[in-house]
């Protein structure tokens, strides 16, 4: 139910205040931080340890998922395992078996990913089944249709209901920032998800062109920081969509490092969702060790 004023009119929620100019200026400074030598090596290890290695395609098969899991457990000699493997609900059982004796978590998208436009009971059922099949983490999408129509309470209610449905599992809430249209709207979506019990805020599905940007990541860090300051609850951040190079990943790492601090730079509070980023990280590592760029042939793909 929307909040009511004494005369019965629905109260309009207070506008979310964010200004693009300084937000983008600060994000731009942070993405130009320089990582050299040992700092770069250990930051790239952190990127791998915080990575949700992802495959979300209609053509995904058990074979493909098993390959991805093997790669996630042991990306290359001396490189840590990734944080999680992220798949569609139907492939959760495959991933659970493949990751059984590893530290790598199973993440599943749910709630009619990527659009979120199915009846709520269908979406909740999908969530329940993914958790029952062994998913440790659920990546839900918010209902952007309801959000953009101004039905913020419906969005919040849905997040809370999904939160309940995935009891015991980690809930990541995908805002699909590229569809929200403004920084103020992203901030509003962050605040809704934080209040409704998200464990992670996540930028994007990766299924639309416009997704994570440094400024959006900074804005989400600010929302998380403020929530922690007010409630003491430390919500994580997952960046996804379009992060393909080590350089861009390190830019995001700097944003989290200088906004939320190192307490957030652990897999429990920070993730990068990606499918091809790992290749570039491994090649960068090789380049820093040997001085030469390895060709793609020298990185085991899956």
Partner 1 sequence: MAVVPELAYSPAPESTAPVSIRESYGLFYGGEWVAPAGATTFATQNPATEEKLAEIAYAEAVDIDRAVRAARRGYEKYWRKLRPTERAKYVYRIARALTERSREFAILETMDGGKPIRESRDFDVPQASAHFFYHAGWADKLDWAVPGCQRPRALGVVGAIVPWNFPLLIATWKIAPALACGNTIVLKPAETTPLSALLLAQVCAEADLPPGVFNVVTGDGRTGAALAEHPDLDKVTFTGSTEVGKAIRRATAGMGKRLSLELGGKSAFIVYDDAPLDQVVEGIVSAIFFNQGHVCCAGSRLLVQESVADDVVERLRARLATLRHGDPLDKNTDIGAVNSRAQRDKIVELVQSGIDEGAELVQAQWTPPDRGYWYPASFFTNVQPTYRIAREEIFGPVLSVMTFRTPGEAIERANNLPYGLSAGVWTSSGALALYTAQRLAAGVIWCNTFNQFDPSSPFGGYKESGFGREGGLAGLRAYLQT
Strands 236-240 and 270-274: parallel
Please choose, out of 43-51, 55-63, 168-176, 234-242, the segment that lies near partner 1 by the rule CB under 8 A: 43-51
Least distance in angstroms from the C-beta of 166 to partner 1: 19
User: Counting contacts by CB under 8 A, is residue 37 touching partner 1?
Assistant: yes
- Pattern of binders to partner 1 over 248-277, x per CB under 8 A? -----x---xxx--x--xxxx---------
The DSSP output letter for 36 is -
Could you write out the DSSP letters of every residue in 218-231? HHHHHHHHHHHHHH
Strands 236-240 and 105-109: unpaired
| Nearer of residues 17 and 101 to partner 1, judged by Cβ | 17
Active-site position among 105, 172, 238, 280: 238
User: Counting contacts by CB under 8 A, is residue 290 touching partner 1?
Assistant: no
- Cβ atoms of residues 30 and 214 within 8 Å: yes
| Nearer of residues 29 and 117 to partner 1, judged by Cβ | 29
Active site residue 32: no
User: Counting contacts by CB under 8 A, is residue 121 touching partner 1?
Assistant: no
Active-site position among 139, 199, 279, 280: 139
What are the φ and ψ backbone dihedral angles of 171, each rounded to 5 degrees? -105, 120
| Nearer of residues 46 and 217 to partner 1, judged by Cβ | 46
Helix/strand/coil percent split, the chain, to 5: 50, 15, 40
User: Counting contacts by CB under 8 A, is residue 36 touching partner 1?
Assistant: yes
Radius of gyration of the chain, Cα coordinates, nearest whole angstrom: 19
Separation CA 266–CA 103 (nearest Å)? 14
Separation CA 189–CA 210 (nearest Å)? 17
Q: Specify burial of residue 93 (Cβ count, 10 A radius: 0-12, 13-18, 19+).
A: middle
Residues of this chain, 199-228, that bind partner 1 according to CB under 8 A: 222, 226
Least distance in angstroms from the C-beta of 287 to partner 1: 17
Least distance in angstroms from the C-beta of 74 to partner 1: 12
Active site residue 136: no
Active-site position among 52, 202, 279, 280: 202
Active site residue 202: yes
Q: Which of 9, 11, 38, 167 binds partner 1 (CB under 8 A)?
A: 38
| Alpha helices in the chain, H assignment, sequence order | 20-31, 37-49, 62-73, 92-98, 120-132, 144-148, 152-165, 183-195, 214-231, 246-259, 277-290
Which sequence positions are flagged as catalytic?
139, 202, 238
Q: Which residues bind partner 1 (CB under 8 A)?
A: 15, 17-19, 21-23, 25-26, 29, 32-40, 42-43, 45-46, 49-50, 80-81, 83, 103, 105, 222, 226, 253, 257-259, 262, 265-268
């Amino acid at each position: 139910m929307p909040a009511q004023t004494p005369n019965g009119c629905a109260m309009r929620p207070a506008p979310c205040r964010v200004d693009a100019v300084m937000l983008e200026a600060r994000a731009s400074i942070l993405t130009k931080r320089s990582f050299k030598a040992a700092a770069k090596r250990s930051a790239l290890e952190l990127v791998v340890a915080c990575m949700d290695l992802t495959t979300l395609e209609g053509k995904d098969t058990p074979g493909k998922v098993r390959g991805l899991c093997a790669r996630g457990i042991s990306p290359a000699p001396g490189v840590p395992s990734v944080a999680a493997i992220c798949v569609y609900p139907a492939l959760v059982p495959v991933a659970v078996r493949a990751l059984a004796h590893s530290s790598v978590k199973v993440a599943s998208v749910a709630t009619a990913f990527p659009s979120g436009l199915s009846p709520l009971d269908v979406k909740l059922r999908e969530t329940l089944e993914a958790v029952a099949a062994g998913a440790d983490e659920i990546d839900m999408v918010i209902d952007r249709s309801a959000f953009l129509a101004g039905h913020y309470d419906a969005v919040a209610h849905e997040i809370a209901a999904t939160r309940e449905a995935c009891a015991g599992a980690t809930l990541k809430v995908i805002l699909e920032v590229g569809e929200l249209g403004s920084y103020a709207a992203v901030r509003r979506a962050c605040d809704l998800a934080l209040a409704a019990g998200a464990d992670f805020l996540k930028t994007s599905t990766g299924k639309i062109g416009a997704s994570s940007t440094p400024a959006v990541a900074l804005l989400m860090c600010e929302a998380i920081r403020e929530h922690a300051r007010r409630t003491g609850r430390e919500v994580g951040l997952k960046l996804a969509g379009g992060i393909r190079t080590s350089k861009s990943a390190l830019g995001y790492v700097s944003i989290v490092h200088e906004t939320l601090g190192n307490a957030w730079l652990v897999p429990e509070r920070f993730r990068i969702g990606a499918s091809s980023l790992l290749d570039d990280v491994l090649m960068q590592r090789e380049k820093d060790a040997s001085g030469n760029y390895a060709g793609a042939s020298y990185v085991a793909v899956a």
